[in-house]
Structures are given as C-alpha cells and as structure tokens.
Amino acid sequence: MTTAMVGEVPLESDEDLRALGRRSRRAERRRGEGLWGWLFLSPSLILLITFVIVPIALALYVSFTKWNGQGGPFSKSASWVGLENYQRLLTRSGLTRKNFSTSLRNNLYFVLLVVPLQTIIALFLAIILHQRKLKGKSFFRTAFYMPSISSAVAVGMIFVFLFASGGVVNTVLGWFGAKDISWFNNGTGIFHSFFKVLGVDKPPSWLASHDFLGLSWWNWISGPSWSMTVIIILAVWTTSGTFMLMLLAGLQNVPEEVHEAAAMDGAGRWQTTRLVTLPLLKKQIILVVTLGLIGTWQMFDQIYVMSDGAGETMTPAYLAYVSGMKDNRLGSASALAFILFGIILVFTAVQRFVTRDKEGGR
C-alpha cells in the first residue's frame, strides 16, 4: 500500500496548480483550515500516538537496556546496556544468535514461497473470474474468498486436524503409496530430505564448516521444515482469496473494450494478458506483493495456535513474543522486533526499487 502511494500523490499537484489561480480566496479560507485539520485529525492522532508511536519509541529505548519487565522501563530494574542486545543477536556467537538466525531462516523460506505462490494464484483466479459471460461468478468468488475470513485459530485447528498422523491428508497420500508422514514437530528441512533421497546424508565439509550468523551454510539451505510446509500451505490457502479480491477490484477498472480491442488486433489470450491486463494491473500487483511481504514477515498467529515454534517453525516475530512475554527478556525482545522492522523496511524498499516505473511495466 505504501509503495503504491508514496511515490506519487495523486491530484495533489493538480490541486496545487488550481490553487495558484485562486490563491487570494483560498488564503482567506485557509485560516480556519488549520484548526479544523488538527481537530479532525486529533482522534486518530491521539490514538496512534498512544498505542503505536509512543510504544515504538519506548521499545526502541528498551532495546538498549536489560530489563526483566519489573517496574517501569525507566526504573532502576532496567539498566542501560547500549548495543549489547543487538550484538547478542547479530555478532556474538551463542544461543541467542543461533535461535535468531534459525528463526530468520525459517521465515525467509516462508516468505520466498508464500509471496510468489499466493500472488500467482490470486492473479490467475482473478483473471479467470473477470470474464463477463462467466456463470456462477459470485459463487466462485465467495468460495475462493471463504478461507480468508476464517480466524487464525479456526484455520490452525482445521489444519492440525487435516494433517494429523492418520488424518485426511496422509490418508489421501497413502492412496498414492506414500507412507504416513509426520507433519508436526518435524524440523527436517524438505531440501535436506531431498538431498537424503539423492544419497547426501551428511553435509559436505565445505557447507558444514562455513557459517553465517552462527548457522552453518548446510543449515541455511535446509529448505522449509515439513512442519513449516503445512503452515506455508495454510497461508497460501488463507490469503490467496483476499488478494484475488483486490486484483479483481483492480480489473474492474480495466474497461472490457481494451480487451476487445486487443482481440480485434489479433492478440492471443496470453498476449492480451501479458501486454494489456498485467500492465494495467501493475499498481494492484505491487500492492498485493507489498502487503504479502509485510504479512509474511509478521506471521505470528498461525504459529501461536499450531506449533508454538516447534518443528523449526519459530519466526522472529514469534521469538520476540516468547522472549518478551514468557522469558521476560524485554530488552532482547525489543531489539529483535526492531531488526524485524528493519528487514521489512529493506524488503519493501527493494521491492519498490525493482517495480519502480519503467518502460512497459512488468
């Protein structure tokens, strides 16, 4: 959303131009506007300051302290430790860093798989559903959107039930000769499982001996764990519908005539999609990818409900929550949350850069 926005402020420049011509009358009116502006803004502003902005500032301060949550953040129980929390997470070898880098790895695979999958599926469904003559359109739209409205708790419970040992999924896979897969508490990476099938059981020494953030290269290339795979399927299943609806909304702005004109010119279906529909949908696609990136890096509820971080499903957001709420290490938790915030900023910035306006769109 931000990406679609910050770059250009629609109408504003237009409005400013017109304002030039009417400056005198405006100036007269504007005198009261400042007051009204602040008045209208104040409810949102006060709430956001109290419950978002001040907490962020406090969390930033806390991230430079060692604090167990007793008393206030400025009381004696919170001692200033400078960058220590960040160093423990990023540079100093130890359990804290290992836990963090593992959670980072887990979430990275989640992001890299979920965002493209849900975007492509949503796009695909939206394009198919956007046919004027299609019958039962609203049935399909509702059906595809249905998973999005269920709560994380409900969806989590459903998937635990479906993927349980001897559950529906394993039964169906059994028909195709697969043996009972244990999906939960299974921290083995699927790439590792695949390597094993290929006969690579132990890591080659050059992969085991190098490390990044305290995690060996071999562990970085593990792929998502089997447990995480369930959550990936769950996330794609839940969110694709929402994004389909957003893309569909964007498609409504593409006049049918554009497609007809393309067809008249002899453009094939794929050509029409690639050269006409996708460029016109560019803003919505960027929006969907941005929201997808933010959402997948903040993924939390599903893990809270389903796995509690077991089976290599720990993510930075969940780790921050656990160390803050359960272990009462608020300094470390806050530092972690800020690193996560930084990661989200970097990812959205890179994505903005890649999709910045250039010839011909995507």
Partner 1 sequence: MPSDRPDDRPALDRSSPARTVGRYVLLVVVALIVLAPVWAILMQSLKSGPDSVRHPRSLLPVDLTWDTLRHAWRAGDLGRLSWNSLVMSVLVTAGVLVTSLTAAYAFAFLHFPLRRGLFAVFLATMLVPAEVTILINKRTIESLGWKNSMVGLVVPLLATGMGTFLLRQVFLQLPQELREAASLDGLGHAKFLWEVAAPLSRPTLAALGLLTFLTTWNQYLWPQSVVDDTAHRTLQIGIAHLDNGRVDNINLVTAGTVIAALPIAVMLIAFQRHLVRGLTAGAVKG
Q: Which residues, numbered 157-216, are part of the site for partner 1 (CB under 8 A)?
A: 157-159, 161-162, 164, 166-168, 171
Nearer to partner 1, 226 or 321 (CB): 321
Contacting range for partner 1; rule: CB under 8 A; set: 86-94, 122-130, 179-187, 193-201: 122-130
Nearer to partner 1, 76 or 135 (CB): 135
Distance CA 272, CA 259 (A): 7
331 binds partner 1 (CB under 8 A): no
| Nearest-approach distance from CB 84 to partner 1, in angstroms | 19
| Nearest-approach distance from CB 152 to partner 1, in angstroms | 6
How is 257-304 classified by DSSP, letter by letter?
A: HHHHHHHHTT--HHHIIIIIIHHHTHHHHHHHHHHHHHHHHT--HHHH
Number of helices (H), then strands (E), belonging to the chain: the values are: 20, 4
Of 210, 268, 327, 346, which one interacts with partner 1 (CB under 8 A)?
Answer: 268
Interaction residues for partner 1, span 213-242 (CB under 8 A): 237, 241
| Nearest-approach distance from CB 120 to partner 1, in angstroms | 7
| Nearest-approach distance from CB 61 to partner 1, in angstroms | 10
Contacting range for partner 1; rule: CB under 8 A; set: 87-95, 101-109, 154-162, 208-216: 154-162
Distance CA 262, CA 265 (A): 5
344 binds partner 1 (CB under 8 A): yes
Give the per-residue contact string, 294-323, with partner 1 (x = CB under 8 A; - = no): x--xx-xx--xx-----------x--xx--
78 binds partner 1 (CB under 8 A): no
Cβ atoms of 330 and 68 within 8 Å: the answer is yes
Give the per-residue contact string, 23-62, with partner 1 (x = CB under 8 A; - = no): ------xx--xx-xxx-xx-xxx-xx-xxxxxxx-xx---
Task: Please name which of 346, 345, 339, 361 lies closest in space to residue 60, comparing C-alpha atoms.
Answer: 339
**Interface with partner 1: number of residues (CB under 8 A):** 112
Of 112, 178, 200, 249, which one interacts with partner 1 (CB under 8 A)?
Answer: 249
- Quick check: helix, strand or coil at residue 310? coil
Distance CA 7, CA 261 (A): 31
Cα separation values, 171 from 63, 176, 187, Å: 48, 9, 22
21 binds partner 1 (CB under 8 A): no
Long-range CB contact pairs, 124-128, < 8 A, 24+: 125/240, 125/244, 126/244, 126/247, 126/248, 126/250, 126/251, 127/251, 127/273, 127/277
258 binds partner 1 (CB under 8 A): no
Contacting range for partner 1; rule: CB under 8 A; set: 77-85, 88-96, 121-129, 191-199: 121-129
- Quick check: helix, strand or coil at residue 65? strand
Q: What does the DSSP 8-state code read for residue 204?
A: -
Nearer to partner 1, 130 or 192 (CB): 130
118 binds partner 1 (CB under 8 A): no
